[in-house]
């Protein structure tokens, strides 16, 4: 490789020597200190290579031995350089192109804005231009972090502004602020669940429902008064205190005087259905454990103890312990702990009573999760749904009496 590079750098001349005294010619040029490469005789004469610098020294030997030397080819950098030197226009053109490309690559040629919905891109570009970020600006002079900070300060709707340079393009990334939306029902009392209204007591505002009416979740129950009036002090003697309304200091919901206030008590139903099969095959953990230790290097794992799981069916938990050397540099070899938990198939056969009991318990738990905590349960019905072969299906229905009125989600 080095030899080829040296030949290319020095330049080689491939020549053909024709004459009767080729051996003498060769000896003569060797005496003159010329190094000859790849010498081979052919029918016409002798083919050989010499360095470009040695070629002139062949002349004397050729004259003395009556040998004619013909150049067959030229190889190497000196010939390429000479050829290029003759094409000065081309060289100048290449140099100009390189110069223009170098200069242009240092300029900002395009600016784009992404991530904006409410912020107008033209406005962002105009503000950026005032800060110096414009087309044909010298990019090295731009302090992009400073521009991003200034843009963020100038745009109230932008939560974050980032300016990124990719070659000649500059990308202004905007993350807009998500403003909280003010609901239409702000200040109104709405239904937290669906139910049938039994009692309404309006302290302030205009009722939108009447007793006996069925309401949907989210339906407006009492709207805020258009002309705020001082709250009335009357209240139902058997009313359950509503902390959000009566004692506003104890809650985050501080009710201004114009907000609707009152109670709306209703019958509310909750239900859940569960089905439990009489015969069931499941896979459960048996409780048996096996622990193995190993070494992990990159993606390769070598288990030192308990190479394979001793159980037929198992759950595998792998915990990796790596040595932290400094900051986020970690030792590449990690110690891993593999916990094999045995799984076994369980065949369950339940009696009808057992299945029914389990379905009822599960359904009741689900209903209780849906219910508002601490409400009064009026009626609870447990219904077994018939005509299901191989399974027991139970429906639990609970009726409660509770206050539905809540302020709309701010």
Partner 1 sequence: MLKKLQVSVGNILDFPPEVAGEGPKITITGRRQILVENYVSIVDFTEEGIRLETVEGDICFSGKGLALKVILSTELRIEGELSSLSFVRGEIK
**CA neighbor of 222 nearest in space, from 243, 254, 245:** 245
To the nearest whole angstrom, how small is the minimum distance from the Cβ of residue 42 to partner 1?
8
CB neighbour list of residue 243: distance below 8 Å, 6 or more residues apart: 250, 251
To the nearest whole angstrom, how small is the minimum distance from the Cβ of residue 35 to partner 1?
6
Site for partner 1 in 365-404 (CB under 8 A): none
* Spatial separation of the C-alpha atoms in residues 187 and 225, rounded to whole Å: 9
Q: Which residues pair with 47 in a beta bridge?
A: 16, 40
Residue nearer to partner 1 on the CB measure, 42 or 328? 42
Q: Which residues pair with 269 in a beta bridge?
A: 399
* Spatial separation of the C-alpha atoms in residues 163 and 357, rounded to whole Å: 64
To the nearest whole angstrom, how small is the minimum distance from the Cβ of residue 52 to partner 1?
17
Residue nearer to partner 1 on the CB measure, 28 or 204? 28
Residue nearer to partner 1 on the CB measure, 40 or 238? 40
* Spatial separation of the C-alpha atoms in residues 176 and 310, rounded to whole Å: 56
Asked if 296 contacts 334 with a C-beta cutoff of 8 angstroms, the reply is yes
To the nearest whole angstrom, how small is the minimum distance from the Cβ of residue 55 to partner 1?
15
Residue nearer to partner 1 on the CB measure, 23 or 379? 23
Residue nearer to partner 1 on the CB measure, 26 or 147? 26
Q: Which residues pair with 347 in a beta bridge?
A: 281
Asked if 319 is part of the footprint of partner 1 (rule: CB under 8 A), the reply reads no
Residue nearer to partner 1 on the CB measure, 43 or 249? 43
Residue nearer to partner 1 on the CB measure, 36 or 125? 36
To the nearest whole angstrom, how small is the minimum distance from the Cβ of residue 30 to partner 1?
5
To the nearest whole angstrom, how small is the minimum distance from the Cβ of residue 57 to partner 1?
13
CB neighbour list of residue 402: distance below 8 Å, 6 or more residues apart: 195, 265, 266, 268, 372, 375, 376
* Spatial separation of the C-alpha atoms in residues 188 and 220, rounded to whole Å: 7
Asked if 211 contacts 197 with a C-beta cutoff of 8 angstroms, the reply is yes
To the nearest whole angstrom, how small is the minimum distance from the Cβ of residue 62 to partner 1?
16
Tokens of 392: 């027991």
Sign of CA dihedral 137, 141, 144, 148: negative
To the nearest whole angstrom, how small is the minimum distance from the Cβ of residue 166 to partner 1?
53
Give the binding-site size for partner 1 (rule: CB under 8 A): 16
Site for partner 1 in 5-64 (CB under 8 A): 22-23, 26-27, 30-31, 33, 35-42, 48
* Spatial separation of the C-alpha atoms in residues 398 and 392, rounded to whole Å: 20
Residue nearer to partner 1 on the CB measure, 15 or 407? 15
Query: Which residues sit at the interface with partner 1, rule CB under 8 A?
Result: 22-23, 26-27, 30-31, 33, 35-42, 48
């Amino acid at each position: 490789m080095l030899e080829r590079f040296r030949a290319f750098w020095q330049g080689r001349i491939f020549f053909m020597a024709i004459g009767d005294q080729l051996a003498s010619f060769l000896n003569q040029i060797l005496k003159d200190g010329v190094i000859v490469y790849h010498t081979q005789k052919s029918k016409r004469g002798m083919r050989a290579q010499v360095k470009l610098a040695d070629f002139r020294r062949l002349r004397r030997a050729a004259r003395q031995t009556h040998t004619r030397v013909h150049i067959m080819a030229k190889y190497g950098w000196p010939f390429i350089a000479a050829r290029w030197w003759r094409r000065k226009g081309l060289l100048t053109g290449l140099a100009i192109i390189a110069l223009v490309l170098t200069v242009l690559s240092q300029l900002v040629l395009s600016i784009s804005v992404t991530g904006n919905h409410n912020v107008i891109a033209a406005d962002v570009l105009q503000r950026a231009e005032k800060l110096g970020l414009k087309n044909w600006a010298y990019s090295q002079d731009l302090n992009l972090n400073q521009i991003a900070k200034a843009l963020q300060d100038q745009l109230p709707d932008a939560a974050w502004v980032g300016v990124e340079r990719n070659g000649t393009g500059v990308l202004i990334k905007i993350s807009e602020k998500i403003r909280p939306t003010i609901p239409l029902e702000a200040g109104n009392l709405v239904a937290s669940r669906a139910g049938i209204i039994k009692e309404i007591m309006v302290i302030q505002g205009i009722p939108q429902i009447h007793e006996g009416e069925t309401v949907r979740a989210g339906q407006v129950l009492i709207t805020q008064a258009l002309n705020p009036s001082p709250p009335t002090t009357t209240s139902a003697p058997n009313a359950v205190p509503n902390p959000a309304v009566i004692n506003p200091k104890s809650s985050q919901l501080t009710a201004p005087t114009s907000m609707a206030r009152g109670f709306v008590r209703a019958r509310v139903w909750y239900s859940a259905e569960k089905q439990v099969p009489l015969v069931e095959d499941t896979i459960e953990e048996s409780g048996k454990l096996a622990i193995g230790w190993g070494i992990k290097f990159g993606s390769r794992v070598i288990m030192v103890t308990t190479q394979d799981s001793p159980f037929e069916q198992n759950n595998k938990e792998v915990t990796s312990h790596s040595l932290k050397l400094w900051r986020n540099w970690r030792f590449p070899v990690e110690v891993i702990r593999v916990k094999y938990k045995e799984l076994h198939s369980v065949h369950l056969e339940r009696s009808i009573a057992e299945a029914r009991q389990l379905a009822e318990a599960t359904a009741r738990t689900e209903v209780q999760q849906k219910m508002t905590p601490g409400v009064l349960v009026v009626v609870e019905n447990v219904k077994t749904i018939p005509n299901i072969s191989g399974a027991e299906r139970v429906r639990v229905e609970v009726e409660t009496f509770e206050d539905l009125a809540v302020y709309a989600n701010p």
